[in-house]
């Protein structure tokens, strides 16, 4: 997936904790690491609704939305996000999600399959380092 970049060539990423999830430290660490890697990060904080992710992505011409969730309801909170992006003209935006996405100890392969069926491009299990997402962003967008 390739996208025309702004004049600066900087990747823009929206980050936040989706739904009613109030955790913030993990999302802050992800945002900080992305910034340190030279990406433009728009941090929405915690308890962010889908519409707010989409609005921020439209306003900033973002390349990706990185959603975190640790309270186990990520699957419910992400249902319909791809459709909302498509409706807003963001058909090519990358959607990444990571954290404790479901309640219990469901096999991660099954969890990943569920999220990909929702139109999520990349799904990360708990404790995935932000550098993995950075590498995937660059790979998926075809930038060095």
63 CB-contact burial (10 Å; exposed 0-12 / middle 13-18 / buried 19+):
buried
21 is catalytic: yes
135 is catalytic: no
Residues whose CB falls within 8 Å of the CB of residue 56, separated by 6 or more in sequence, listed in order = 14, 42, 44, 62
Q: Which residues are catalytic?
A: 21, 23
């Amino acid at each position: 997936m390739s996208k025309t970049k702004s004049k600066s060539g900087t990747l823009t990423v929206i980050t936040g904790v989706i739904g009613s999830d109030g955790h913030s430290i993990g999302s802050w660490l992800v945002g900080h690491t992305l910034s340190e890697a030279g990406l433009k990060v728009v941090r929405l904080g915690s308890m962010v609704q889908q519409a707010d992710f989409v609005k921020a992505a439209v306003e900033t011409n973002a390349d990706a939305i990185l959603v975190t969730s640790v309270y186990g309801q990520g699957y419910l909170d992400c249902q319909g996000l791809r459709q909302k992006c498509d409706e807003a003209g963001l058909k090519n935006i990358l959607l990444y999600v990571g954290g404790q996405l479901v309640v219990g100890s469901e096999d991660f392969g099954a969890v990943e399959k569920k999220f990909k069926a929702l139109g999520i491009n990349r799904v990360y299990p708990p404790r995935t380092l932000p550098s993995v997402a950075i590498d995937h962003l660059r790979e998926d967008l075809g930038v060095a």
